[in-house]
Chains A and B, each alone.
Chain A
Amino acid sequence: MYVSPIREPLIKGNKTYSQITKDIAAPIEGKPGKAWYMGISLSLSAMFLGLAMMGWTIWEGIGTWGLNRTIGWGWGITNFVWWVGIGHAGTFISAILLLFRQKWRTSINRSAEAMTIFAVLCAGLFPLIHMGRPLLAFFVFPYPNTRDLWVNFNSPLLWDVFAISTYLLVSLLFWYMGLIPDIGTMRDRVKSKAKKFIYGLLSFGWTGSVKHWQRHEKLSLILAGLAAPLVLSVHSIVSADFATSIIPGWHTTIFPPYFVAGAIFSGFAMVLTLLIVTRKVLNLENYITLAHIESMNKIIIATGSIVGIAYLTELFISWYSGVEYEQYAFLNRAAGPYWWAYAIMMTCNVISPQLLWFRKLRRNLVFTFILSIFINIGMWFERFVIIVTSLHRDYLPSSWSMYKPTLVEVGIFVGTLGLFFTCFLLFIRAFPVIAIAEVKTVVKSSGEKEIKNETL
């Protein structure tokens, strides 16, 4: 494939292959710094707080949450959809960008995929603990039983069970499969016997032979082919939880594409949040360059605009439908008691990403970091707005209510953040955050001119 020689190089610093291995393996081989210890203790405490709150919920009942007879889903499902959304970027980057031969993905796909898995784990917790009887959660699986009980295949919640578990499985396989050559590298580099043994086990006897590489490449393509439709289907199915219902504000045919775009939007924002910090702390600025940040920002403009158009389409259709309940639901979103949530959503998701049309801002790390946080917040509020404002005022005004989360719900959310960051911090200490083998393939593929300039 032809790559323009005047393009920026994907990897900066005119690295040699051995330098690349050394740079990327450095965080695993060295001792963690103070920042890492602070991070892990903070996120571990958050995680344990969350676990305690989950235990309390299971013990006492869902009554410890702020839900009521009118609003059956609140923070729990908001967080679920939010985490699932975040879990979209990784597979999008590794599968879809792989199929589209986007080489810049190689610097970020590993950590994005890891993030995907951790996010989906966090997401999966919520449907489980939001149940009134979580100990009977196995009822959702169609297992053979003597009582002839069967699940309800008409229910989107059941589709969720399959969609999320399939997605988690395929993402995990894809990620691990990509890790194998790098684990082999690590096995060869580590000194201690125990580590050698563990990496040896995990590498499945990888030798780097041509046959191994050939199989690896084939499987990559196959899994990419499998994962790519999943990226689109998972959030479509999550959106079906709402779209197939009859609640005004939920019952919307635009939801599947709108949710997928929103998911990729939020996923990239989370990748940016993590990588801007990671590249700095782990000294990987030459591998995750400004060009990468800019590319991701471009995806953010694209998906952000789709999301913005979807918001406006929803508003238009609710008016155009002539259905009084629909009209009221959207009017209530914008001007009802939860107007502030709608305003936050609109500002963060529609207005702020438009600033990325300016190249200077696209390449500004501080701005991008703040913006990514904004988008994370905005996308959380999008789900909150959809779930809570639709439910709290539906058909019969006699049942209209308000919703306020309790400390237990907030604690559980903080707990999943803790779990996520704990997993991520452990990940960067255990596995190469950048796919060493893959990044080596792109080190000489573009930016010849600049490389020359650099060497001069």
Chain B
Amino acid sequence: MKKYWKSQQEKNESPEIKTVKHKPKGNLEQVLDIFEDGTVEAKSNRRDFLKLCGYSLAITTVLSSCENAVQKAIPYLNKPEEITPGIANYYASTYINGSDYASILVKTREGRPIKIEGNNLSPISNGACSARVQASVLSLYDSSRYQHPQIKQEKVSWDEFDKSVSDALEAQKGNQIALLTPTIFSPSTRKAIKLFTAKYPNIKWIQYDTQSASSILKAHKLCFGKEILPDYRFNKANLIVSFDADFLGTWINPAEYIKTYTDTRKLSGTSNKMSRHIQFESRMSLTGSNADERHTIKPSELNLLIAQLYNEILALKGLKKYNASESSQKIKELANDLFKQKSRSLVVSGSHDLNAQIIINAINYELENLDKTIRLDNPLQNHQAIDEDMDQLINDLVSGQVKGLICYHSNPVYNHHKGDQLKKAIEKLAFSLSIHEAPNETSSLMKFVAPDNHYLESWNDSEIKKNSFSLMQPAIHPLFDTRQFQASLLKWSDLETDYHKFIMKNWEETLFPTQTLYTSFKPYWEHTLQEGIFEIKNNSQAKSKFAQVDIQKAFDKLTQKPGTKNIELQVYETIALGNGTSANNPWLQEMPDPISKICWDNYLNISPKQAKEMELENGNMVKLNDKLELPVYILPGQAYNSVSIATGYGREICGKVGAEVGFNTSGFTQNGFSNVKLQKIEGQYDFAMTQTHHSMEGRAIVREANLDEYKKNPKAGNDHKHKYKNAGIYKEPEFPNHHWGLAIDLNACIGCGACTIACQAENNVPIVGKKEVIRAHEMSWIRIDRYFSGDENKPGVVFQPVMCQHCDNAPCENVCPVAATNHSSEGLNQMIYNRCIGTRYCGNNCPYKVRRFNWYDYTQADSIPNNLHDPAGLTSDLSRMVLNPDVTIRAKGVIEKCSMCVQRIQEGKLNAKLKGRKVKDGEIKTACQQTCPSGAILFGDLNDKSSELFKVTSSGRNYHLLEEIHTLPSVSYLTKIRNKKS
């Protein structure tokens, strides 16, 4: 196009000048121009200045009128070397609470411990954590803990306190004093105690376990000459017979047993071998609910059965039988099966009767299980208490022979059946010293209170099994003015008080020489501290010999006591609360019992048959022995004429959360059973039950088959395939990169509930309290469904963890009016909390009912004041320290649910990106998967054909929950296979 010119001048102007003239100016230049003395050419003028002024005035007005939140975060003046804000640090440590043990990693953020993970290197806990371990981090931030030393409830300084204690100890030199502790399996602590008792020879050390293994220890002393707890190796057994030993729940060392037990029961790939498990018990325990065959018997019938079994095995071996009544067909058959599995079987018993344990030892001996499934050369150390010692101590305290008591980490006034006597005796003592973390029924009676550190603030070591060591290191400076027990002992012994150095010195002397890898101590110590564990290789293959025991006598004693018609009461510990030490932990209180699905309570379990006879229904009240009024729960599978109740509840002196929850069972022994009288009384009691319907109603929810069927057809029990491609009206989504998924092996899941607490800790899931659980307002993102089947007196039990299924055709997504829930490009069903207006339509339309609504302001995230519902005080500044900063706190009125730990996925992806590679299979683990003691949960990428998840989901056992409604879940289940005798 031709160029037309406007005037002569324009035509003559050269293009160069033109460009110079019209060159646009930057803002800064314009501003600077103003200050030049104003020649007309190319300078900003007054107008520009005024424009600029006006503009900046407007901007400052707008910006300053926006309210800015007051930021209280103060940056590090000197950044600690190991802390990077936003990045978690992990420290290897050890969890010890009485006899509970786990080798752990403590996750800290900006110096705060926020989560416990299992330590993969540990051969004992195998990277898993129980619910109690998971919840222990919350107890650190418990404001009801002792916060300073006290003398007669008066606050004093440690210097004054130490002086008073030393003076008192000097004054009592002539009197007998007892030091009462739980079993101590820390070598350095044992050494410290030895030094302390050496300084004060009048102090006698006594160990006391609430769940004692005293009879096993004594039986081994008699049979093998060593007072030990053997190493039971469930993974080596093809046939497991348990007489009332709840080894998956609370018996001796369940964390290890769950792993070794389920290792033999997972059917992966080509393996179709599986152990068989037979349980004899009166109460439906977690172990019994997982058994292939379960026989309900009264506690008093146990002994005879053990004796008969022994007799039958002797008969099969062609040996002389002892004199006992004719055994039933069941026992004969069992003896036969055991005999066939000679040296590959395992018989255990939770009996507190010494004679029964002797016969159990004899059975295992005759079955040649010793040194195969039971090893004596690396015994467990976490139960060393002998019941008689404690009985003797109580007698001595009552009679006044022992004049002083130092009590560490045990609460016998509450949990010993002679607690009342003990209470009176302690009140009269001249010297009483308590070393506890938090006030309890025993410590509150004592004159001196030397507050102990939480284990996350302490140094320690442990030897859970012989030659298996681990270290405990503090993950945070003590929050309160407390000092750990061992340091106090050293102080009172006038020794170096730094327990850290004490342990190092002890290790340098004892353990360092046992290894050859490191030549100097420092790197050895640092390496061990980093790994958390240390093992001494032990290749001894000593043959165990059975000593001469008077079997005849033991046998006679077992067969002499015939079963009675009395109602027998057993006291047990629950999976969550144990002996009640952690009663002030709201996470554990709100964790439903695996079998009854009741939380925040204990209750009297009664058999369905007896309930019918006594015309009792769930929640009706009964009077036990004319004194204790209790609500009943009809427990399918409870033996007729036997009842059971959990201890650990009814705490009187405890923090706000645990006090007055449930009923105190004091007065009933936990060792063995007691005969009781029951009487129905008026009254109805409400249970906080998270599941109230117990039948699957014939629906294919948990799919199961027997092993023989599975061997013939790997798809056994899983033949309800509903294969319709593209049955929906929407296009099936595509996932070009990752497609995250979970697979849950129902054969491995034992229903222990560790995953639920791990999820609670990881995802800041709020606690709602008993009243709200009764109203079905619990917030758990993952729950474990438990269904009963068959005869209510001999029910079958199945467990099924259910979380958000992350459906690719999700019914919740298309009903939300504001699109607050949607699908990610990696197959995750996402919740956008700040978009959610809370219509709950998604929750209604979720066929799995995994969506949780914030009914009240549980977290103080609501904008309306004074409407907080925080029954457990978890919104206090102290408790908030446990919150995971990677997960948003949800406000009142929004829906929340499992995110498949999206924060962990994101972290894994970012780490891989930094290293310039793809995410490796197994690198990312969800919180539930990480903690699962049986490894039942597997996370992975469904798009990755080489991933473990892809392999598992391609097996014949794989199915989706409610696949017939075409929700296309990303979570799948593997059928449950039982090993019943066909």
Hey, which bits of chain A sit against chain B, CB under 8 A? 58-63, 66-73, 127, 130-137, 139-140, 149-152, 154-158, 161, 241, 244-247, 324-325, 328, 391, 393-401
Known: A132-B837, A397-B699. A69 touches B818 (CB 8 A): no
C-alpha gap A134/B837 in the complex (Å): 7
Segment of B66-74, B474-482, B732-740, B840-848 in the binding face: B840-848
B727 at the interface (CB under 8 A from A): no
A130 to B, closest residue via Cβ: B839
Cβ of A396 and Cβ of B844 under 8 Å apart? no
C-alpha gap A151/B816 in the complex (Å): 9
Cβ of B853 and Cβ of A62 under 8 Å apart? yes
Give chain B residues whose Cβ lies under 8 Å from the Cβ of A156. Answer: 815
Name A395's contact: one of B783, B837, B895, B965 (CB within 8 Å): B965
C-alpha gap A165/B785 in the complex (Å): 43
Cβ of B818 and Cβ of A396 under 8 Å apart? no
Give chain A residues whose Cβ lies under 8 Å from the Cβ of B895. Answer: 132
Name A61's contact: one of B694, B839, B867 (CB within 8 Å): B867
Cβ of B802 and Cβ of A398 under 8 Å apart? yes
Q: Closest CB of chain A to B783's CB: distance in Å?
A: 8
B572 at the interface (CB under 8 A from A): no
List CB contacts (< 8 Å) of B759-790 with chain A.
772, 775-778, 783, 785-787
C-alpha gap A400/B696 in the complex (Å): 11
C-alpha gap A151/B817 in the complex (Å): 6
Known: A397-B699, A397-B787, A400-B693. A72 touches B819 (CB 8 A): no
Name B837's contact: one of A140, A396, A398 (CB within 8 Å): A140
Cβ of A63 and Cβ of B777 under 8 Å apart? yes
Q: Which of A131, A134, A152, A398 lies at the interface centre, i.e. has the most chain B CB atoms within 10 A of its CB?
A: A398
Summed over the interface, the residue pairs from A and B with CB atoms below 8 Å come to a total of 173
Annotate B832-876 by CB proximity to A: 1 below 8 A, 0 otherwise: 000111111101110111011111110000111001010000000
B818 to A, closest residue via Cβ: A139
Cβ of B819 and Cβ of A150 under 8 Å apart? yes
Q: List 15 A-B contacts (CB under 8 A).
A: A59-B867, A62-B838, A67-B853, A69-B849, A132-B854, A151-B817, A244-B815, A393-B693, A394-B849, A395-B699, A396-B848, A396-B962, A399-B849, A400-B692, A400-B693
List CB contacts (< 8 Å) of B641-697 with chain A.
691-697
C-alpha gap A397/B783 in the complex (Å): 13
Q: Which of B785, B786, B852 lies at the interface centre, i.e. has the most chain A CB atoms within 10 A of its CB?
A: B785
Annotate B691-719 by CB proximity to A: 1 below 8 A, 0 otherwise: 11111111101000000000000000000
Give chain A residues whose Cβ lies under 8 Å from the Cβ of B692. Answer: 400-401
C-alpha gap A246/B848 in the complex (Å): 11
List CB contacts (< 8 Å) of B944-982 with chain A.
961-962, 965, 967
Name B778's contact: one of A69, A158, A244, A328 (CB within 8 Å): A69
Name B840's contact: one of A67, A150, A151, A396 (CB within 8 Å): A67
Name A137's contact: one of B698, B837, B848 (CB within 8 Å): B837
A147 to B, closest residue via Cβ: B835
Known: A133-B893, A155-B815, A396-B849. A139 touches B835 (CB 8 A): yes
C-alpha gap A323/B961 in the complex (Å): 16
Q: Closest CB of chain B to A137's CB: distance in Å?
A: 6
Cβ of B836 and Cβ of A133 under 8 Å apart? yes
Q: Closest CB of chain B to A116's CB: distance in Å?
A: 24
B894 at the interface (CB under 8 A from A): yes
Name B698's contact: one of A134, A152, A324 (CB within 8 Å): A324
B814 at the interface (CB under 8 A from A): yes
B967 to A, closest residue via Cβ: A246
Give chain A residues whose Cβ lies under 8 Å from the Cβ of B849. Answer: 69-70, 394-396, 399
Annotate B865-894 by CB proximity to A: 1 below 8 A, 0 otherwise: 001010000000000000000000001111
B811 at the interface (CB under 8 A from A): yes
16 new A-B contacts, CB < 8 A, other than A62-B853, A157-B839, A246-B967, are A63-B775, A63-B855, A131-B838, A131-B893, A132-B837, A133-B892, A155-B814, A155-B815, A161-B817, A245-B811, A328-B697, A396-B849, A397-B699, A400-B692, A400-B693, A401-B776
C-alpha gap A135/B843 in the complex (Å): 20
Name B815's contact: one of A151, A245, A328, A396 (CB within 8 Å): A245
Name B701's contact: one of A130, A136, A396 (CB within 8 Å): A396
Q: Closest CB of chain B to A296's CB: distance in Å?
A: 35
A157 to B, closest residue via Cβ: B817
A61 to B, closest residue via Cβ: B856
Cβ of B776 and Cβ of A152 under 8 Å apart? no
Q: Closest CB of chain A to B345's CB: distance in Å?
A: 35
C-alpha gap A131/B844 in the complex (Å): 14
Give chain B residues whose Cβ lies under 8 Å from the Cβ of A58. Answer: 864
B697 to A, closest residue via Cβ: A397
Give chain A residues whose Cβ lies under 8 Å from the Cβ of B843. Answer: 69, 72
Q: Which of A135, A139, A397 lies at the interface centre, i.e. has the most chain B CB atoms within 10 A of its CB?
A: A397
Cβ of B817 and Cβ of A152 under 8 Å apart? yes
Known: A67-B840, A70-B776, A158-B817. A61 touches B857 (CB 8 A): yes
Cβ of B778 and Cβ of A395 under 8 Å apart? no
Cβ of A245 and Cβ of B838 under 8 Å apart? no
Q: Closest CB of chain A to B597's CB: distance in Å?
A: 9
A242 to B, closest residue via Cβ: B844
C-alpha gap A69/B692 in the complex (Å): 13
Q: Which of B775, B785, B786 lies at the interface centre, i.e. has the most chain A CB atoms within 10 A of its CB?
A: B775
Instruction: List 9 A-B pairs, minimum CB-CB distance, nearest first.
Output: A132-B838, A132-B893, A63-B855, A72-B840, A68-B776, A398-B785, A399-B849, A152-B819, A157-B817
Known: A69-B853, A394-B849, A395-B962. A152 touches B893 (CB 8 A): no
A391 to B, closest residue via Cβ: B844
Give chain B residues whose Cβ lies under 8 Å from the Cβ of A158. Answer: 817
Name A154's contact: one of B699, B814, B851, B894 (CB within 8 Å): B814
Cβ of B867 and Cβ of A69 under 8 Å apart? no
Name A157's contact: one of B841, B848, B855 (CB within 8 Å): B841
B838 to A, closest residue via Cβ: A132
Give chain A residues whose Cβ lies under 8 Å from the Cβ of B815. Answer: 154-157, 244-245
B851 to A, closest residue via Cβ: A69
C-alpha gap A393/B692 in the complex (Å): 11
Q: Closest CB of chain B to A248's CB: distance in Å?
A: 9
Give chain B residues whose Cβ lies under 8 Å from the Cβ of A137. Answer: 837
Q: Closest CB of chain B to A74's CB: distance in Å?
A: 10
Give chain B residues whose Cβ lies under 8 Å from the Cβ of A395. Answer: 699, 847-849, 962, 965
Cβ of A398 and Cβ of B814 under 8 Å apart? no
Known: A61-B856, A132-B854, A245-B845. A152 touches B816 (CB 8 A): yes
Q: Which of A61, A134, A391 lies at the interface centre, i.e. has the most chain B CB atoms within 10 A of its CB?
A: A61
Cβ of B867 and Cβ of A60 under 8 Å apart? yes
